[in-house]
Amino acid sequence: MENILDRFLRYAKIDTQSDENSQTTPSTEKQWNLARLLVDELQDLGLSDAYVDEYCYVYATLPSNITDGRKVATIGFIAHMDTSPDFTAENVNPQVIENYDGGDIVLNDEENIVLSPKDFPELKNYIGQTLITTDGKTLLGADDKAGIAEIMSALEYLVNHPEIKHGTIKVAFTPDEEIGRGTKYFDVKGFGADFAYTLDGGEIGELQFENFNAAEAKLTIHGRNVHPGTAKNQMINSQHVAMELVSLLPANERPEYTEGYEGFFHLISFTGSVEETRLHFIIRDHDRQKFEHKKAIMQKAVQFINEKYRRNIIDLQLRDQYYNMREKIEPVMYVIELAKQAMIQADVVPIIRPVRGGTDGAMLSYMGLPTPNIFTGGHNFHGRFEYIPLESMHKATEVVIGIIQLAAEGKTL
């Protein structure tokens, strides 16, 4: 357990924040710092083929130690190196709270920043455990440096315990997941796994093979500006048209009113003037038919406005981003059963729930590599209240090892 803690703290202190406005891969040069460190550590563990490619993807192989000729699945484990661009990751200073007593945790005394079970009642689930928190000034980076630390710790354990039989294990650490580009240059063919798991989930026990179908809609509304004193029957205020468009969408299908399998329209940005207004929406639903229906609602709303004003007052750019991985996982559900069994053996209760967002696993699944998602143990990602119990990280490592052991026993074939 100490190795997991030391490893995670080392990774968390390296600023790897990605940048959605950058057009390079990786989007920030600082992601190379962690990538090169991981290559060195992988090679030190004996994974001699470890390398980082031109796009900052780290790959390595732990060769099979099975010598009796049995056919064993090649399994991949994947985590991402970057942290969210939504909150600062510079000078991360993790705090280690041993034997948590169930009360408030003062993250920053000067600014009175407190991690409290009054706001986050799930903290009570970790009384007596060791919590790793922020200092209140940055995010922590458990998303997804916890996943990296857990994979690395599992590899170290297997290397140090050669009596544990395992097939070929592939690992990959990717850049730019937080800005939706984590699989852009992923070499699925070269990776060579039969299936894989991302370690990028939340609380202990999470096992996810469903995510949103996703699209984005960018709308440009063209108004007509004239002097307000003579504006009657002449002015078209694009901001008012934008509000009219928004009013045509289902008000109860917004993120703040939805949960579970419920989809939504999310207005991300609204900027404009009388002359021109730009709206940016994301559209989400787990059900493919409902997803297509939501896109049709957006298109019909635009069509209605354009017909009303008798001109193409709204330009719509609507594009699909990714799809629900479920349809790619269902034909190979043994990968879910394998993870469930590994969790049960580690005394972890499997919690199968949909991802209310995207995941690299969805993109990889559609690229030909079935890749469900496993918990890391973290909570409150992307902000100052992020924390992770050390014991949950230890269990995630146990689950990785358990999956590998079960596969070596032929459970997947």
Q: Which residues are catalytic?
A: 82, 177
> What distance in Å separates the CA atoms of residue 306 and residue 106, rounded to the nearest whole number?
54
Tokens of 204: 């202990």
Sign of the Cα torsion 154, 42, 203, 333 reads negative
- Report d(CA 86, CA 12) in Å as an integer: 16
Single-letter residue type at 334: Y
Supply the Cα-derived Rg of the chain in whole angstroms: 24
Distance CA 174, CA 111 (A): 35
Q: How far apart are CA 209 and CA 197, in angstroms?
A: 10
With contact defined as beta carbons under 8 Å apart, do 335 and 395 qualify?
Answer: no
Residue 169 burial by CB count (10 A; 0-12/13-18/19+): exposed, middle or buried?
buried
| CA dist., res. 145 & res. 176, Å (int) | 13
Burial string for 305-315 (b: 16+ CB within 10 Å, else e) reads: beeeeeeebbe
The distance of Cα 267 from the centroid of its chain, to the nearest Å, equals 20
What is d(CA 365, CA 343) in angstroms, rounded to the nearest whole number?
22
Q: Please report the DSSP string for 337-381 in residue order.
A: HHHHHHHHHTT---EE--BSS--HHHHHHHTT----EEE---BST
**DSSP per position, 80-109:** E--B-TTS--TT---EEE-S--SS-EEEET
Q: What backbone phi and psi angles, to 5 degrees, belong to 322?
A: -160, 170
